Structure 1
Amino acid sequence: MVVDDEPDLAGLVASYLEREGFEVTVTGDGAQAVHLAREVDPDVMILDLGLPGLDGVEVCRRLREFSDAYVVMLTARTDEVDTLIGLSVGADDYMSKPFSPRELTARVQARIRRPRAGLGGPGAVRTDRGVRVFGDLTVDIAAHEVTVSGVPVHLTRTEFDVLATLSADPGVVVTRRALIETVWRTGWDGADHLVDVHIGHLRRKLGDDAARGRYVMTIRGVGYRMGAGR
């Protein structure tokens, strides 16, 4: 789904995606985008931050109530605060206008078509189905499910991939750059704070915090690794 109130730009992006075999729905209205997303259940939403009325931040916030679609936020304002606001409501990536539709299409292709983070690495308790257990936290890679104390935790695709990457080798510290290269794999050249924002989302949903680090531990000056869950 392409959501942008500039018809020419939206049409151009849609044409590039359609050429690569994607089915594309286009709208320039934020409220309609939320309504359509419930109907078509998009895998990806290309979302303009500066929509009139219901802006991109609010659209993304509402989308996250029912969808884990991969969200790329488009912004004409390069101010870092705008970027962080977009990411804080669940956007996975962003591009500043003007941008290359070819690069945007490549990012979408890389994100949708690559395999999920694989199994592997010692440290967590596993079952034959690839279930990783850290105290009360259970990460089921095959089923794409996460629970804490038996209660399901809804994660976006990117949040799940971050957790899957960290839990694949629990005893190893993963740097921010390594997380970006593993999870995003799109030639991301922006600031590494992208990782910190998603780690913050992940911790909040798991009932974890930076100080305790039961599930996700911060290794100052290096990156992150899994905790034992106790």
Structure 2
Amino acid sequence: MSSEEIRTAVPGLQPEFCPVTQRVIVVSPLPRGLHELVRDLSDGCFDVMVFHHLEQGIRNAQSADLLILDLTAYREQEDEAVLKNLMLQHTEEIPTLLLIKESMLPLVDERLRQQELLVWPARPQEVLYHAQRIIRTSTKKAPASLLLSGTSPAIYKDLWIDRKKMSVYRDGTRIELTKTEYDLLLKLLLSDGAVLTREDLLSDIWDTSFLGGSNVVDVHIKSLRKKLGDRASNPAYIATVRGVGYRMAD
């Protein structure tokens, strides 16, 4: 059941539209024990996929925004080995949350303390808070990397970019951009912070190498900034590099 269907089914709750969702992969040998976790994430506008086997889950997590590994079902004598072997898996580029039992805490060494850990069962909605925080603050997958890999949506600061729908959202509200404005924003995001000259943008967006005295790039950047609520003097999204071009702001 989708989050919208859940909200509709509960009396007194008005249906809420999730303009974009993010993908969470959950790996658990006993997923029936994570019913509340899946429900809370789904209700919080996450698309959740559950896998029984670690290898299959990690393979699918390459295109996910967050990987949740449930270690609570392992027997006590296996805990230390499971925790150590986990670090050998290919999860370095995937934001990951480990669900552990309280009894496993003494087994967590210094290396694992650097991972995101959550003692499970947790308080209601706590996993939703952790998922949102980890994705928002993670440096493992930069927005440009998500865009380049084709993952949708991607996040830049408080903007949500849904490439499938060619749409940009902030606080759940769609920002109405023209196709040219959207293409400009996407091109700057894909540059991963590098400076793009006006000639670069003119060539890629307008498919021409002629610049002459045209200020077409500047005009569209100004319009894009206005719709984003950005200011050239104190940019939050698009910074001007004088005499050169533009880049995404720090």
Q: TM-score, normalised by structure 1?
A: 0.42
CA radius of gyration, larger in: 2
Q: TM-score, normalised by structure 2?
A: 0.39
